Amino acid sequence: MGNPTGWKPSMEKDAKTTTAAHAEVGAGGATRGIVHEEPLLFERGSTGRSGVSLPAAGGDFDPARELPAALLRGGVEGMPEISELEVVRHFTRMSSWNHGIDTGFYPLGSCTMKYNPKSSEALARLPGFANVHPLAPAELAQGALELMYRLERALSEIAGFDQTTLAPAAGAQGELCGLMLIRAYHQAHGNPRKKVLIPDTAHGTNPASSALNGYEVVQLSSGADGRLHPETVKAAMDEDVAAIMITNPNTLGIFESHIAEIAEIVHAKGGLVYGDGANMNALLGVARPGDMGFDVMQYNLHKTFATPHGGGGPGSGPVGVKAELAPFLPLPAVVKEGERYRLVVDPKERPQTIGKLREFWGNFGMFVRAWALIREYGPEGVAQTGKLAVLNANYLRKLLQGAYNLPYETDSLHEVVFDDKLQKAHGVTTMDVAKRLIDHGFHPPTVYFPLVVSGALMIEPTETESKETLERFAAAMKAIAEEAQADPDAVKAAPTRPFRARLDETRAARKPILRWSPGMKVE
C-alpha cells in the first residue's frame, strides 16, 4: 500500500511528538479528521423500515374501545422509520461533535469540571444500588440507607455542620432549600423578615433563590481587592435582614477573609449566614464553612465530589445546617437505630420540617458516586484535593500573568479571573479568545462572569489536571494573546477547526427553533 503523505513514524528516542511535529496541530492536540455531516433522525429512513420487530396486536384488543376518541390518533406525521444501525450511527456521530471531560481540558470557572472516576461509575451500577426500588421497605434497602447515612455524616463533618439533608436535586434546589430553612427558622421565631444581602460577585441563582422565598435582595459592593468588607455589611444590616448569602471563596476565586467578622455582624442582629458551596472544592479538607460562622450551606456533589454534570447529570445539592436549623430540614431523612437504618418520612415525627423537596430519596446514584470518592480518597486525599485545586489555579495564574490582564491581584484560590483589557486594544474580545481556544482543542473557560469584571475569563483547572495539560493550555492562551497582536482577524474568525464554526448565538437566542415539525425548512 502506498503512503500518499510520505510521513514516517520515527523510532528515535528524541522523536518529536505529533503535537510538536505539526505546526497545524493546536496546543491541546486538536487537528482535523473525518467528521460526518448528520441529518436529523426525522430526515432519515424510508417508509416501512423498522429497527425493532414488534409482535402483532393480540386478540380482539381495540384501542378505540379502551380510550376516548379525543385521546386517539392515527398515524403520526413525520415519524422516523429507520433501522437500528442508522440510529446507532446517528448518536455515535453526534457524540463525536461533542467535547467532554473525557475528551479534553474543560476549565469552566465556577463549574468545577473535574474528572469523574470510572470506579465511582462502576460502583453506582452495582445491581444492589442500581436496582433498588425507591418504594422498597427499609428492611430490604439497608445497604442503600446505610450509604446515605454515612454520606450524610461525612458531608456534615467535611463542611463543619451538625446535620445535612441529601434531598435537593441540584445546587439551585439546594439554595432554594437553604432559603426555605432560613425562612422557616425566622417564622418560628415570630418574624420571617424581609431582606437578603448578596454581594455583587454572587452567582445569579442566589438572588433568584431569595426572591422565590419572598425576600427582597439587597446587593452589596465588594471592595477594590475583590473582597466583601465588614463595614459594607454593617451599613446594610438591620433586623429586617433574614440572611446574607456568601460564596467563599467568591466567584473571583478570592477567599473572603473577613468572613468571621461579617458573620458576627449578621448574627448580632439575628440574621443567618448562608454559604453557597459552589466553590467548596477550594476548601476541601483544609477549612470548614461551619467553623467560619456559616449556618447553612449547599454542596454541589456534581462539582465537589466528581459526580457527572454538564449534560451528564443529574446533580445533587445536599444542604448542611447548624443544630438550630436541623428541625426544619426536609424529609426523608435516614436515622440509625441500633444497627438498623430507617427512613423518616412522616412529618408527625418532624413537625417543623419544610416538607418534601423531591420524589423518593433524592438523586441516589449520585450519593453512591460521591461516597465512593470520599472513601477512595480518605481524609488525606480529600484535603489533597483542595490543595491541588488551589495549586493548579495558581500555576495557571503565574503562567498567564503578563499575557492577560489580572483585574484583581488579590491571591487566588481554586480559580483565577483574567480579562480582555490587553487584547481589546487590537479589537480582540474575550469571546474571540474563547472561540480560538476551541481551535487548539480546549473547552473555553467561563466568559463574561463574574459581572464585576468586564470581559471576564474565569479559569478553574481543578485538581484532576496534570502539569503538562496546564502547560499546554497556557501555551494555547499565550499563542492566542500573541496572535491577537499580530493577526487579530485570525482570532476573530475562530473557530475554524470544529465541524460547526462560530454559531450565531444571537439568532439562536432571539429566534430559537425548539421543535422539529414535518416539512420544516431551516436555513
Partner 1 sequence: MEIPDTLKYTREHEWARTKGTQVVIGITDFAQDHLGDVVFVELPDVGDTVKKGESFGVVESTKAVSELFAPVSGKVVEVNDPLGDTPETINDDPYEEGWMIVVEPSDPKELDALMDAKAYRAFVEEQE
From the list 330, 306, 299, the residue with the least C-alpha distance to 170 is 299
What span, in angstroms and rounded, lies between the C-alpha atoms of 242 and 197? 8
| Torsions phi, psi for 446 (to 5 deg) | -65, 135
Instruction: Indicate the residue among 23 and 509 with the shorter CB distance to partner 1.
Output: 509
425-454 positions binding partner 1, by CB under 8 A: 431, 447-449, 451, 454
| DSSP-derived secondary structure for 113-164 | -----HHHHHHHT-HHHHT--TT--GGG-HHHHHHHHHHHHHHHHHHT-SEE
Q: In what order do the strands lie in the sheet with 446-447?
A: 416-418, 457-459, 446-447
443-502 positions binding partner 1, by CB under 8 A: 447-449, 451, 454
193-212 positions binding partner 1, by CB under 8 A: 204
What span, in angstroms and rounded, lies between the C-alpha atoms of 295 and 185? 11
- In 188-310 the beta strands, taken as DSSP E runs, fall at 195-199, 216-220, 241-247, 272-276, 296-298
374-433 positions binding partner 1, by CB under 8 A: 431
Name the minimum Å distance from CB 506 to partner 1. Answer: 4
Name the minimum Å distance from CB 197 to partner 1. Answer: 16
505 binds partner 1 (CB under 8 A): yes
Name the minimum Å distance from CB 268 to partner 1. Answer: 28
Sole binder of partner 1 in the list 8, 348, 510, 521 (CB under 8 A): 510
Name the minimum Å distance from CB 204 to partner 1. Answer: 7
Name the minimum Å distance from CB 18 to partner 1. Answer: 36
Instruction: Indicate the residue among 124 and 431 with the shorter CB distance to partner 1.
Output: 431
3-class DSSP state for residue 193?
coil
Sole binder of partner 1 in the list 509, 515, 519, 522 (CB under 8 A): 509
Instruction: Indicate the residue among 119 and 219 with the shorter CB distance to partner 1.
Output: 219
Instruction: Indicate the residue among 207 and 289 with the shorter CB distance to partner 1.
Output: 207
Name the minimum Å distance from CB 510 to partner 1. Answer: 5
From the list 407, 436, 408, 411, the residue with the least C-alpha distance to 420 is 407
3-class DSSP state for residue 236?
helix
Instruction: Indicate the residue among 337 and 504 with the shorter CB distance to partner 1.
Output: 504
- Chain mean position to CA 285: 20
Instruction: Indicate the residue among 122 and 451 with the shorter CB distance to partner 1.
Output: 451
Sole binder of partner 1 in the list 53, 131, 506, 517 (CB under 8 A): 506
428's grid cell: 480582540
Contact residues: partner 1, CB under 8 A: 204, 431, 447-449, 451, 454, 505-506, 509-510
